[in-house]
Amino acid sequence: MKTLAHLIGASTLVLALGGTALAQGTVRIATEGSYPPWNATDADGTLIGFDIDVGNAVCELMGATCEWVSQQWDGIIVALVAGHYDLIISSMSITDERRERIAFSDGYVTDPVFFVAAADSKLPAVTTLEEVQSVLVGKTVGVQSATVHADFLQQYLGDTIEMRLYDNQENIILDLASGRIDAGLAHRSSWQAFFKTEDGAGFDTFGPPLTGSEYPVLGEGTGIGLRKEDTELLAMLNEALAAMKADGTMKALSEKWFGYDITMY
């Protein structure tokens, strides 16, 4: 992999380091650690996943050392603004509401959002959002709190369903598999590991693929979050992400973790 110094010039890199969160050569990055394959925590406590590989590659290009922090999702922006870390790399969708509090890098990947339900229910037979709205009347739908998925449910189905909020995707899957909720909503990629399990084999997606291009509440793709004042760091992040797209790194990481390319062009 080429270093960012080769791409933007070593002297430019050194100057940029002096006025950003990278002044000490280390960047602290927060991720949730419980949203596989984007981010997860393995048996020995190590953070793994697409987000972690992206962050490590970005740090390498910037000539910095990554220091990872596991942070619960619903407090992740508050802790960034408070200075507990420098970046959020945690499958965070870029939205206008979040832009009021933090800055974002350019979007670099996007993945459709899908409803999931038991395959032997009537739900997987529907294909349009209008049909989804009809068949989910009175049903309980699980979604992670403080996410664009929850915002979507509130906006499009809030008056007709019981929306059950969860602290992470793993707990949505547990309740879905046990029948405590009728359906769940999350990124397509976050359902893939579940479908490969014995319990998940009996479930399927339903309705249309939901994206921010058609439903703006879902955001403008995934970006790296940072404090608004870190403008030089933002420029470096965008340079690094552009380099990763150009040399195929982003596509390779996407295919490694998701099995398909979700790179934004």
Q: What is the CATH number of the domain that holds 170?
A: 3.40.190.10
Checking if the pLDDT of 105 tops 50, the result is yes
Strand partners, 10: none
Average pLDDT over the chain reads 91
> For residue 32, what pLDDT is reported?
97
Checking if the pLDDT of 13 tops 80, the result is no
pLDDT tens digits, residue range 226-261?
A: 999 999 999 999 999 999 999 999 999 999 999 999
Question: Using 50, 70 and 90 to split pLDDT, how confident is the model at 212?
Answer: very high
Q: How far is CA 49 from the centre of its chain?
A: 11
> For residue 14, what pLDDT is reported?
36
Q: Is residue 122 assigned to a domain?
A: yes
| DSSP 8-state symbol, 92 | P
Better-scored residue on pLDDT, 122 or 68: 68
Same domain, 184 and 236: no
Question: Using 50, 70 and 90 to split pLDDT, how confident is the model at 23?
Answer: low
Same domain, 56 and 147: no
Checking if the pLDDT of 7 tops 60, the result is no
Same domain, 225 and 208: no
> For residue 84, what pLDDT is reported?
97
* Cβ–Cβ under 8 Å, residues 47 and 31: yes
Domain count, the chain: 2
Question: Using 50, 70 and 90 to split pLDDT, how confident is the model at 124?
Answer: confident
Same domain, 73 and 133: no
Q: Is residue 92 assigned to a domain?
A: yes
> For residue 103, what pLDDT is reported?
98
What's the one-letter identity of residue 24? Q
Same domain, 12 and 104: yes
The strands making up 113-118's β-sheet, listed across from edge to edge, are 162-166, 140-144, 183-187, 113-118, 203-210
Checking if the pLDDT of 17 tops 60, the result is no
Q: Is residue 263 assigned to a domain?
A: no
Same domain, 214 and 226: no
Domain of residue 250, residue span: 4-110+221-258
> For residue 264, what pLDDT is reported?
78
Same domain, 18 and 34: yes
Mean pLDDT, residues 179-190:
97
| Degrees to nearest 5, angle at CA 257 with 177 and 80 | 85
| DSSP 8-state symbol, 90 | S
Residues 67, 211: Cα–Cα separation, whole Å:
32
Residues 49, 26: Cα–Cα separation, whole Å:
20
